[in-house]
C-alpha cells in the first residue's frame, strides 16, 4: 500500500507516461510517409480504416511492434512491475482487430476506438475518498495538454478514471486507468463479463 500524497503521485506518474508517449510517438511517426503522418484520427472512421489495407497491414502492426520493442527495452517500466500498484500492457493485433470489427457500427472514429494500444493501470488506495481532488488534478493536466481527455467510467460494478494521452489528432492515443484498490475485485469481474458479452455478440 502506498503511503503518498495521491495527487502528487498521480501527477508524477501521468507526466512520466506523457513524456514516454511523446518520445515514442515522435520516433515512430518520423519514419512514416507524409500522407500517413497527416491522417486525422479523430475524424477517420473505423470502417474506412478497416478498408485501408496499408493502415491495417502496415501502420498498425508496425506501431504494435515498435511498442513491444519499447516495452522490452524499458528498464523503468519493468522495475515498476515489482509494485502491486502498477500494471501495463500492449494490446495484441488480434484483440485490436476484433475490437475494431465489434465497434464498426455507426460513426465511430479511430482515435476514440483505438485508444489503448498501450495502457497503464494505477491501482492505489484512497482514490474513492478523493474523487473531486483527482478530477481537479486531471482537469489541470488536460488544460496543460498533458492529457487529451478523461472521464470517470461507471459500468455495472466497474468504476475507474480513464485518461487518454494524445498530443496530436494525427497520433494514436495511450490510456491510463486509475483504480482504487477496493474496486479491483469488481473491476476484474466486470472486465471478464464484458469480454464474454463481446464474444457472444461476435458469435
- pLDDT over threshold 70, residue 76: yes
Its sign, for the CA torsion 169, 20, 60, 105, is negative
- pLDDT over threshold 70, residue 181: yes
How does residue 191 score in pLDDT terms, banded at 50, 70 and 90? Answer: confident
How does residue 201 score in pLDDT terms, banded at 50, 70 and 90? Answer: low
The mean pLDDT value for 66-72 works out to: 91
**Strand, helix or coil for residue 193:** helix
How does residue 192 score in pLDDT terms, banded at 50, 70 and 90? Answer: confident
Q: Which of 10, 35, 23 is nearest to 167 (CA)?
A: 23
Task: Give the whole-number percent of the chain exceeding pLDDT 70.
Answer: 95
Average pLDDT, the chain: 93
DSSP string, 84-150: TTEEEEE--HHHHHHHHHHT-SSS-BHHHHS--SEEEEEEETTGGG-HHHHHHHHHHHHHTTS-SEE
Q: Which of 69, 67, 89 is nearest to 80 (CA)?
A: 89
Find the range with the poorest average confidence among 11-20, 25-34, 64-73, 130-139. Answer: 64-73
- pLDDT over threshold 70, residue 52: yes
What is the per-residue pLDDT for 68?
94
What is the per-residue pLDDT for 60?
98
Cβ atoms within 10 Å, residue 168: 15
Strands 174-180 vs 149-155: parallel, antiparallel or unpaired: unpaired
What is the per-residue pLDDT for 106?
67
What is the per-residue pLDDT for 203?
53
What is the per-residue pLDDT for 107?
79
Task: Give the whole-number percent of the chain exceeding pLDDT 90.
Answer: 82
pLDDT tens for 159-180 read 999 999 999 999 999 999 999 9
Burial class of residue 197, CB neighbours in 10 A (0-12, 13-18, 19+) = exposed
- pLDDT over threshold 80, residue 198: no
Amino acid at each position: 500500500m502506498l503511503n503518498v500524497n495521491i495527487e502528487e503521485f498521480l501527477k508524477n506518474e501521468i507526466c512520466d507516461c506523457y513524456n514516454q508517449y511523446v518520445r515514442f510517438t515522435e520516433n515512430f511517426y518520423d519514419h512514416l510517409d507524409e500522407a500517413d503522418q497527416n491522417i486525422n484520427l479523430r475524424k477517420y472512421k473505423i470502417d474506412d480504416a478497416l478498408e485501408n489495407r496499408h493502415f491495417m497491414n502496415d501502420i498498425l502492426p508496425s506501431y504494435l511492434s515498435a511498442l513491444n520493442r519499447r516495452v522490452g527495452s524499458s528498464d523503468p517500466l519493468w522495475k515498476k512491475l515489482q509494485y502491486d500498484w502498477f500494471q501495463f500492457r500492449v494490446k495484441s493485433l488480434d484483440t485490436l482487430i476484433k475490437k475494431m470489427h465489434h465497434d464498426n457500427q455507426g460513426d465511430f472514429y479511430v482515435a476514440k476506438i483505438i485508444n489503448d494500444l498501450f495502457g497503464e493501470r494505477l491501482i492505489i488506495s484512497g482514490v474513492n475518498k478523493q474523487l473531486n481532488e483527482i478530477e481537479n488534478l486531471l482537469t489541470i493536466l488536460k488544460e496543460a495538454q498533458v492529457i487529451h481527455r478523461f472521464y470517470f467510467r461507471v459500468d455495472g460494478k466497474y468504476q475507474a478514471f480513464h485518461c487518454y494521452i494524445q498530443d496530436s489528432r494525427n497520433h494514436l492515443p495511450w490510456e491510463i486507468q486509475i483504480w482504487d484498490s477496493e474496486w479491483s475485485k469488481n473491476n476484474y469481474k466486470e472486465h471478464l463479463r464484458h469480454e464474454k458479452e463481446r464474444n457472444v455478440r461476435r458469435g
